[in-house]
Structures are given as C-alpha cells and as structure tokens.
C-alpha cells in the first residue's frame, strides 16, 4: 500500500506540474522595463539605482530577488570582492511590500524584497539603490568601469532595458554587450554625451545580461585598487602566523572551558523512567541528566507532532506551500479514509503510464481543516469518482487558491 501511495504522489506531482508550466507561461510573468543608472562618484565608488517594472501576471508572489555576483577569482591566493552597501528600496503602487533582506550566498549577494506574509500579483515597480565599492579597474592610460548593469540571474524576459552611466569627467570610450554569459554581441544602441553614456537593448531573454564598459581619464578618481580577500584553503587555514596562532589558542581554551561546563552542568535533561516516560513525561515530573553513554532510544512516533498534517509540516519547513505539500495532503487523506485510490487497468495493455481512480468515500468532513475540505471539493468537483488523468488541466487552475489556503492554515496552526 505504501508503494502504491508513493507512486500516486509521484504521478500526481508530474501530471499537475505539466499542467502548471503552460499556465505560468500564459500568465506572462516578465519585466516590462528595466532602467539602471550607474554614477561613478568622485571617490571611485559606484552609486547604483535600478528601476524595475515587474509584471507578475496572475502568479502570486511575495516579491522579487535581485542577485548580484560580488566575488570572483583573482589569482591563486586571492578573490576579488565588490562590497555592496546602503541598500534601500521603494516601490509602487502604494502598499507594495518593500521589506529588504540582504544576504551573501557563495559568490552572490542576494537582495530579497517583499513581505513573506503578503502575496502580490500584477504590475509593481521597484526602485533599488545601493553603493558598490571597488568596481573600477585601473590601467596606465585610463580607468574603466566594466559592469553587468543587468546580470544573467533573471529567469524572466525583459522587454526593454536601458543603462545610463555618469562620470565626474568626460567619458572617452564605451562598449556594450548583450546576451547569455560570455556573449560579445553588441547592444541595440550606445552613445556618449560628455560625462554621460547611454545604452539600450530592445529585449533580453531569460538569463541574458546587459554589460557596459566605460572609460574615463586617469586622475579623475583615486587610483582604482581591487578589494581582495584571501582564499580559504587548507594551507591558509593552518598558516602558522602569530595572529592566527593566538586566535587558535583562544578558541581552543574557550572550547575546553565549554566542554568542562557541559560535562558538569550543561547536559540534556530527561524524565526518569522507561523510554516512554523519558520521551513523554512521567507522573512525578522527576528529571535526571542524560548519561553520556548507554542512551536509550526513544519510542517511535508514527504521526506528525501535535496533530500537524503533512502538508502543514512541509509548509512550515520551507515557509512555502507548494505542489509537494498538496500531494502529501492527498496521500494523507487517503490514509485517513477520506479517499480511495485504485489503479485503473489499461484496456489494451499498452499504456506506458499508470492511471488512477480517486473515489470520495463520503466520510464526514467535520474535523477537516479548511484547506483539506477545499482540496476535496476541487478534486471531486464533477462527481464522487474521478480519474487522475482527468485532473491534469482542470485541477491546475485551483492550485493557487489551495496553496494560499494551506499556507494561511499552517501559519495559524
């Protein structure tokens, strides 16, 4: 039975995913207009302003992510970094969430914009401002900005892109590239007017970039010096430098002190008694320190904690209600006797993919969560018996509302 339910979950996930993909495409999620201003400041820093007219279509999203690569290999011992500071965000229309969370993940600085508790659809315009240090490159006869004004990280098409670069002195030369990473195709237009350069591109496909190169005379800004950080390797981690040795001794001393405290006072506590008493509590409430050896395995619990449903648990783990959580709920409803799942034999014996019949067993829904009742209503909208293949396109349209209901229920729980 478990194998059948697992197979049902896989089949349902694949079937509905195939139906969701065209629906997402038809919703037209895209960037209508992307305008970037790069201002080379007198101290050599780069002040960036991005105005992104984002259309979510009918998709429900919490906001957008702006991902900027800020760490690159430099030589055998160093990496070049581009610190991003002073990030601010505004948005229209009024009420568009502008909560900002800036994190560094590997070589990328990620700017997360939006409220995790609020979903939005349709058109929203975001204005992102930040400062980049160490962006300029120094050469004997000129200083240069070589920058991905629009990077390859966007998974949606961009209908119109424009970048403006301003400098504290006359710009002497420009270049512009567009396309996937490594492309040398020129952009639609580029021109210079004194201290200002403008670049345009009529359209970018998903994961395509707009890269600009601008040259200014030397001496206009302080001589550019790349910001370097030492690569963390086995040899550098164990470099016997005096400072590192002192720090290591300090860490070791703290570790030993912490271990002594842990052995004496910091060990876990448990209830006195059998394995069940230890896990769930005894009558007296008496406790003891957990021994370092001879620990007893606790009893196995076959249900989610405190009656939490699988779909709720999955939503709480990744803070998102998704198709896997809906699928887990269907399987859970079958286990609890609300749905009967039966494999449908192929009439000609040639069907490559199995089909399944779902039957509403008519069990009282009085104790169901609202999202579970909504799910059953969606599955059996046309009758108490339905085949999985029939749901492929009909059920996909209901997923958005189900995900919202499940997410709201999990947060409330």
- With a cut of 80, say whether residue 349 has pLDDT above it: no
Measured distance CA(83)–CA(186) in Å, rounded: 28
Percent of the chain past pLDDT 90, that is, above it, reads 48
Measured distance CA(111)–CA(68) in Å, rounded: 8
Measured distance CA(389)–CA(23) in Å, rounded: 17
- Nearest of 310, 325, 317, 327 to residue 10 by alpha carbon: 327
Record the pTM: 0.56
- In the sheet that 108-114 helps form, which strands lie side by side, from edge to edge? 63-69, 108-114, 100-105
pLDDT in tens, 30-53: 999 999 999 999 999 999 999 999
Confidence of residue 410 (pLDDT cuts 50, 70, 90): confident
- With a cut of 70, say whether residue 222 has pLDDT above it: yes
pLDDT of 19 reads 46
Identify the residue with better confidence: 349 or 251: 251
Identify the residue with better confidence: 409 or 160: 160
For every residue of the chain, which 3-state class applies, written as one string?
CHHHHHHHHHHHHHHHHHHHHHHHHHCCCEEEEEEEEEEECCCCCEEEEEEEEEECCCCCECEEEEEEECEEECCCCEEEECCEEEEEEEEECCCCCCCEEEEEECCEEEEEEECCCCCECCEEEEEEEEEECCCEEECCCCEEEEEEEECCCCCCCECCEEEEEECCCCCCEEEEEEECCCCCEECCEEEEECCEEEEEECCECCCCEEEEEEEECCCCCCCCCCCEEECCCHHHHCCCCHHHHHHHHHHHHHHHHHHHHHHHCCCCEEECCCHHHHHHCCCCCCEEECCCCCCCCCCCCCCCHHHCCHHHHHHHHHCCCCHHHHHHHHHHHHHCCCEEEEEECCCCCCCCCCEEEEEECCCCCCCCCHHHHHHHHHHCCCCCEEEHHHHHHHCHHHHHHHHHHHHHHHHHC
Stretch 330-356: mean pLDDT: 77
- Nearest of 371, 373, 354, 353 to residue 363 by alpha carbon: 373
Measured distance CA(54)–CA(63) in Å, rounded: 10
Confidence of residue 321 (pLDDT cuts 50, 70, 90): confident
- With a cut of 80, say whether residue 161 has pLDDT above it: yes
pLDDT of 137 reads 95
Rg (CA), the chain: 29
Q: Compute CA distances 298 → 289, 295, 308, whole Å.
A: 15, 9, 20
pLDDT of 264 reads 62
Identify the residue with better confidence: 91 or 375: 91
Strand 385-387 relative to strand 123-132: parallel, antiparallel, unpaired?
Answer: unpaired
CATH, domain 30-230, list 2.60.40, 1.20.1050, 2.40.160, 3.40.630? 2.60.40
- C-alpha torsion sign, points 146, 147, 149, 150: positive
Where do the domains of the chain lie?
30-230, 240-291, 310-412
Measured distance CA(225)–CA(413) in Å, rounded: 54
pLDDT in tens, 238-295: 555 566 566 666 667 777 777 666 666 655 667 777 766 666 666 677 777 766 565 5
Measured distance CA(126)–CA(34) in Å, rounded: 10
Percent of the chain past pLDDT 70, that is, above it, reads 74
- Of the CA atoms within 13 Å of residue 90, those in its CB half-sphere come to 5
Question: For all residues of the chain together, what is the average pLDDT?
Answer: 82
Measured distance CA(212)–CA(196) in Å, rounded: 13
201: how many CB neighbours lie within 10 A of its CB? 27
Confidence of residue 196 (pLDDT cuts 50, 70, 90): very high
pLDDT of 23 reads 41
Q: Compute CA distances 199 → 165, 187, 324, whole Å.
A: 9, 7, 43
pLDDT of 150 reads 96
């Amino acid at each position: 039975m478990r194998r059948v339910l697992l197979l049902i979950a896989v089949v349902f996930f694949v079937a509905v995913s195939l139906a969701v993909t065209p629906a997402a495409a038809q919703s037209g999620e895209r960037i209508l207009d992307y305008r970037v201003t790069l201002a080379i400041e007198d101290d050599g820093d780069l002040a960036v302003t991005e105005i992104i007219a984002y259309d979510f279509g009918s998709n429900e999203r919490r906001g957008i992510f702006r991902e900027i690569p800020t760490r690159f290999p430099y030589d055998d011992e160093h990496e070049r970094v581009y610190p991003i500071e002073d990030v601010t965000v505004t948005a229209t229309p009024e009420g568009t969430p502008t909560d900002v969370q800036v994190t560094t993940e590997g070589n990328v600085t990620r700017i997360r914009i939006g409220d995790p508790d609020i979903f939005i659809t349709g058109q929203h315009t975001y204005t992102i401002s930040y400062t980049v240090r160490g962006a300029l490159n120094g050469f004997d006869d000129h200083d240069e900005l070589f920058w991905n004004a629009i990077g390859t990280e966007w998974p949606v098409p961009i209908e119109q892109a424009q970048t403006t670069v301003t400098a504290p002195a006359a710009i002497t030369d420009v270049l512009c590239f567009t396309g996937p990473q490594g492309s040398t195709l020129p952009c639609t237009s580029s021109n210079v007017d004194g201290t200002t350069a403008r670049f345009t591109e009529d359209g970018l496909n998903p994961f395509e970039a707009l890269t600009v190169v601008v040259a200014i005379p030397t001496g206009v800004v302080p001589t550019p010096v790349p910001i370097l950080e030492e690569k963390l390797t086995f040899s550098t981690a164990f470099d016997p430098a005096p400072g590192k040795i002192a720090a290591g001794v300090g860490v070791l001393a703290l570790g030993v002190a912490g271990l002594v405290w842990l052995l004496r006072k910091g060990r876990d506590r448990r209830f006195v008694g059998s394995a069940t008493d230890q896990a769930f509590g005894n009558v007296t409430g008496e406790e003891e320190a957990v021994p370092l050896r001879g620990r007893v395995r606790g009893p196995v619990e076959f249900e989610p904690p405190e009656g939490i449903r699988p779909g709720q648990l999955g939503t709480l783990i990744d803070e998102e209600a998704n198709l896997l959580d809906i699928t887990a709920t269907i399987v859970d409803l079958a286990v609890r006797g609300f749905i009967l799942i039966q494999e449908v034999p192929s009439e000609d014996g040639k069907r490559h993919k199995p089909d399944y019949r779902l039957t509403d067993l008519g069990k009282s829904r009085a104790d169901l969560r609202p999202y579970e009742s909504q799910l059953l209503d969606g599955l059996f909208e046309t009758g108490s018996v339905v085949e999985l293949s029939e749901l492929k396109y009909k059920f996909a349209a209901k997923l958005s509302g189900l995900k919202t209901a499940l997410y709201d229920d999990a947060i409330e729980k």
